[in-house]
Amino acid sequence: MAPLDQLPGLDGRLARQLGFLMEADRLKGVLRGSRIADGSRRENTAEHSWHLALFALVLREWAVGDVDVWRVVQMLLLHDLVEVECGDTPLFDADAADTQAGLEEAAADIVFGHLPSDQAGALRALWAEFEEARTPDAKFAKALDRLQPILLNHAVGGGTWADYAVDEGRERALTGRIADGAPALWGVAQAVFADAVARGWLRPVPGTMP
């Protein structure tokens, strides 16, 4: 990529901002486990982030408390930017999850470091708030991040549930935080799980009958 800071006459701050935006373009090439809803291919992380921002705009009324939807949208647009450096970690990959936090922290240093320091600090703080998932805004954002792949897996008849031989108990354990940010959406997730088990797309809890 040609460095923008070498363009004659370009303001240094603007060059860093544009450079960050061009680095973010790499997110379009990071593939996730989830398929898009027609099942034709896997989604990329840029598509995932855009879709979640749209989820926030449409589903705001189901959030717990008085969330600031603009802050939620910002978190969702930023939350996976680190994947341009460290790639996507599938939710069901337990081994990769053990090192995920450290890799993503290091990646955040690089990614947000492309920005002017004031913007780098502000945007990284939003990224960290999402990761910690303690505020109402972050809890809602995290709920949407967990819900979207559930809906895509159901749409394609299994998706990553089949890829990783996931059972309903494991899926509930990994996605239960949806209830913290949007109980009504957790109700949707539970209905999807029940239907997916009945259809054979999601394994029943061992020892139970579908």
pLDDT digits 0-9 by tens, 39-53: 999 999 999 999 999
Low-confidence ranges of the chain (pLDDT < 70): 1-3, 5, 90-99, 207-210
**Largest Cα–Cα distance in the chain?**
69
* pTM across the whole model: 0.91
| CA–CA dist 184, 90 (Å, integer) | 25
Cα–Cα separations (whole angstroms), residue 2 to 140, 149, 170, 198: 38, 35, 46, 53
SS3 at position 204: coil
| CA–CA dist 161, 83 (Å, integer) | 22
Domains of the chain in sequence order: 12-199 (1.10.3210.10)
Radius of gyration of the chain (CA): 18
Residue type at 15 in one-letter notation? A
